[in-house]
Amino acid sequence: MALFEDSTISTLDGLAAQDTSVLDVASNEGIDVTGKLLLAKTEVGAELVAAGARAPFSPTSPLMWWPGVISLSTLQLSHVVVTPPLQMWHAFHTLELVYRDAYYNQLNDRYLGKWNAYKDLSKWAAGLLFQTGLGMVADPIPIAERPQVEAIAGTLAAATYFVQVSWVNSRSEEGLASTVVSVTASENSSVLVAPSNPPINATGWNVYVGSSIDSITRQNTAPIVPSETWVLPSSGLIAGKPPSNGQAPNYFRPVLRYLQRG
């Protein structure tokens, strides 16, 4: 799963899947949906931090924790996993913000109805999250940045390759893979891949390569040392595992919500 700080949480395609007209409405009304995605993330994050402050959490006064897991009482968003309830809350809150602006632009009752509907859905999803608890990781490993990829001299035939990388921590947990980088190699060549800006807690990295975006699979059998590069061997690509979905929660942290928005 993605971490809270890995991305905007929801996407434009995800919003369109929830509401098929939202992108047209935003275009017609001059609303920056990408900006609303970021604003919704900021507001959801602020409410999570406030809720965490209301519910002290530590091994000395545990509410719910796994043996061996140490969590500071102050909630850190970098440790939060985007579970389905959190993703739904963010998506519905973004739609709420879009239709709020659309309503105030036109004072159109149709927009008012959708604004209120998504406000209610946002509260419902937030309530579901607060009931189930926040998915947390003890040692967050962030999404990898775009790797450095280049064609070098080798023995392989001309081809185009699609590359992703991901970081691994000391618990053998893998973060989300980077965006895809493509490279076209000529005859008698190979491909060199180097990761960019390793996080301080990374103990290794994985490389994923394919001849198409749909065929990208892992090419290393064990994590590669962060300072080392990877070169496509003369034997070519292997059929490994596809990129993972990121870190799963190590535990769930209960939080208290006393006040409802709106």
Banded pLDDT at 73 (limits 50, 70, 90): low
- How large is the average pLDDT for residues 26-46? 97
Residues 123 and 167 in one domain: no
Residues 87 and 181 in one domain: no
pLDDT tens-digit map of 117-169: 999 999 999 999 999 999 999 999 999 999 999 999 999 999 999 999 999 99
Residues 73 and 167 in one domain: no
- Asked whether residue 110 is domain-assigned, the answer is yes
Q: What is the pLDDT of residue 258?
A: 53
Query: Do 205 and 197 form a contact (C-beta atoms < 8 A)?
Result: no
Q: How many beta carbons lie within 10 A of that of residue 241, not counting itself?
A: 9
Residues 83 and 170 in one domain: no
Give me the domain span that covers residue 163: 148-231
Residues 128 and 103 in one domain: yes
Q: What is the pLDDT of residue 61?
A: 42
- Asked whether residue 211 is domain-assigned, the answer is yes
| Adjacent-strand bridge partners of 136 | 80, 251
Residues 93 and 172 in one domain: no
Residues 134 and 178 in one domain: no
- Which 8-state DSSP code applies to residue 223? P
Residues 121 and 24 in one domain: yes
Collapsing DSSP states into helix, strand and coil, what is residue 87? helix
Q: What is the pLDDT of residue 262?
A: 46
- Asked whether residue 243 is domain-assigned, the answer is no
Residues 21 and 120 in one domain: yes
Considering 48-57, 71-80, 101-110, 121-130, the range whose residues carry the highest mean pLDDT is: 121-130
- Asked whether residue 245 is domain-assigned, the answer is no
- Asked whether residue 97 is domain-assigned, the answer is yes
pLDDT tens-digit map of 185-242: 999 999 999 999 999 999 999 999 999 999 999 999 999 999 999 999 999 999 999 9
The percent of the chain in helix, strand and coil, each rounded to the nearest 5, is 35, 20, 45
> Per the structure, how many domains does the chain have?
2
pTM: 0.86
Q: What is the pLDDT of residue 79?
A: 96
- Asked whether residue 36 is domain-assigned, the answer is yes
Which of 118, 140, 162 is where one domain is finished? 140
- Asked whether residue 77 is domain-assigned, the answer is yes
- Asked whether residue 258 is domain-assigned, the answer is no
Residues 18 and 131 in one domain: yes
Q: What is the pLDDT of residue 106?
A: 84
Structure token pair of residue 105: 């632009």
Residues 116 and 167 in one domain: no
- How large is the average pLDDT for residues 39-57? 85
Q: What is the pLDDT of residue 130?
A: 92
